[in-house]
Amino acid sequence: MKTRQLGTSGLAVSELGFGCMGLSHGYGPATNEKDAIALIQKAYESGITFFDTAEAYGQGANEQLVGKGLHHVRDKVIIATKFGFSNGKNTDGLDSRPESIRLVAENSLRYLRTDYIDLFYQHRVDPNVPVEDVAGTVKDLIAEGKVKHFGMSEASVQSIRRAHAVQPLAALQSEYSMFWREPEKEIIPLLEELGIGFVPFSPLGKGFLTGKMNADTKFDKTDFRNILPRFSKENREGNQVIIDLVTKIAGEHNATPAQIALAWLLAQKPWIVPIPGTTKMTRLAENIGGINITLCDDDLADINKALDNISLQGERYPASMADLQGR
């Protein structure tokens, strides 16, 4: 496992991170604590040093798993967490008031069993709080030694510029994959200009790019993909064309579709660090195998040409989840 620099911030992380959300939140029942901690520790033993969590992933439950799993190697890992949802729930609206940011920071430090947060993201831009105030609050936390680096998630070009002018961002975390290429239009050029790293979440298209899902796949009743338009039965059937493409490329490289999806992301920029998540040891090993797949310029040109000719079906989020859209 090699390391990558997140922009010009000086923050070095493993080239592949581990997204911990699914262990507690979003994709069905939570993984039992023993298995979740074992998975986190296996990721570390396999060379991953970059772990992503958030207050909103179970109101601190996910952070506690990370704390229990990594406290014994705290000085050898980079832990990212997030603030910005009211009551720590992504269903209760946004709250990035300075006093709330400070409260979340103190809770996260306790849950993570640490005295500093390596990377503290604003989970979503709060339209009721100027981003300058948010950046200023994190800047103060950095001065106090409680936070090392500032980040944002799903932020717009304007919001990134305004916040970066107050406290330089180390990273932006937003959705990016073969299944969602919107950041290529404005966000990636901006990050390159400002020297900000990019941490794609859902790099496997919320599981779709693994090739293990089809129109007949049934989700657990608590799985949030049930309400995402792009994951309706009809749209999964319509979007099978991208799985056919990735599966074909995987066959040419003696790889799996998931490994090709991750290799494609890693090949985009040297300061991009995907954070796939999983609840299974076998999937963890498969994902890590993606770092060994090299796509040459001709491969990438062919893939991107094919992707440009695919019109994916379904919106990313329903209108009811407006707080999860970028601002």
Contact 227, 138 (CB under 8 A): no
Alpha-helical (H) ranges within the chain are 33-45, 61-70, 98-111, 131-143, 157-166, 187-194, 233-238, 240-252, 257-266, 281-288, 297-308
Quote the CA–CA distance of 265 and 271 in Å, as a whole number. Answer: 10
Q: Are 198 and 171 in contact (CB under 8 A)?
A: yes
Strand-pair category, 117-122 with 78-83 = parallel
Question: Could you tell me if 12 and 4 are in contact, meaning their C-beta atoms sit under 8 angstroms apart?
Answer: yes
Give me the catalytic one of 44, 57, 121, 176.
57
* CA distances, 164 to each of 124, 140, 145, 167, 190 (Å): 15, 14, 19, 5, 11
**Catalytic (active site) residue 57:** yes
Q: Which residues are within 8 A (CB) of 89 and not within 5 positions of it... i.e. 6 or more apart?
A: 56, 59
Residue 72, SS3 per DSSP: helix
Cα radius of gyration rounded to whole Å, the chain: 19
Between CA 14 and CA 273 the distance in angstroms is 8
CA distance 61 to 37: 12
Q: Which residues are catalytic?
A: 57
